[in-house]
Amino acid sequence: MMVAIVNVTAAQKVTVYDVRADFARYRTFSWIEPPNTSDPAIRASLVEAIDSTLANKGLQRVPTDGDLGIAAHVATPQAQTLPAFYNGVAGGWRWRSGFEATTPAQVYDVGTLVVDIFDRQTRNVMWRGSSPKALSVKPGESANKLSAAISQMFRNFPPPSLTPDTAVIR
């Protein structure tokens, strides 16, 4: 799998995607794994912000079987790696679809938001965004930080369709 890494900043906000994916063909999305936060208000804010962002990108949320499957995770002291995020997720969704060949095993800092987007047909992850410190430990600060983190994460979504010989890393 060819992977493009874009949007790397000093804060290590990263998006990674499969350059072979034709994102223009997707029309709908469904949640396969809601955010793993214990705070219902934060979970609702995350879902609403991601739903709104994807809707603004032309995608429609459907209850099940969307063209895309969405999973969001917040790194906690108990779960800071992809295997921990996906422990217990049913349905054959595969986060191990080639990204790990180009990205080393990652331990995310507590408060990092990771959003994975899967192709429903293959169940392989095709896009991943991460934003460190997206959630604050200070009460009341998370809403503003989340909004900015999600806006930045999805700024260039959907990515352009590239061929392996025209892929660039920016």
Among 59, 65, 128, 54, residue whose Cα is nearest residue 97: 128
The answer to which of 1-5, 20-24, 48-52, 96-100 has the lowest mean pLDDT is: 1-5
Domain ranges within the chain, ordered by starting residue: 3-153
Distance CA 170, CA 160 (A): 13
Distance CA 40, CA 59 (A): 25
Mean pLDDT of the chain: 76
Write down the pLDDT at residue 4.
44
Distance CA 38, CA 160 (A): 35
According to CATH, what is the number of the domain 3-153? 3.30.160.670
pLDDT tens sequence across 37-47 = 878 888 998 99
Instruction: Tell which wins on pLDDT, 160 or 7.
Output: 160
Residue 33 φ/ψ, nearest 5 degrees: -150, 105
Extract the tokens encoding 108.
């995310």
Residues forming beta bridges with residue 117, ordered by sequence position: 70, 127
Q: Which residues in the chain belong to E strands, given as ranges?
A: 3-6, 14-18, 28-33, 60-61, 68-74, 113-119, 125-131
Q: What three-state secondary structure class fits 127?
A: strand
pTM of the model: 0.78
Extract the tokens encoding 62.
């459907």
pLDDT tens sequence across 33-91 = 888 887 888 899 899 999 999 999 999 999 999 999 999 988 777 666 665 555 555 55
pLDDT tens sequence across 107-165 = 778 888 989 999 999 888 889 898 988 876 665 666 677 888 899 999 999 988 765 55
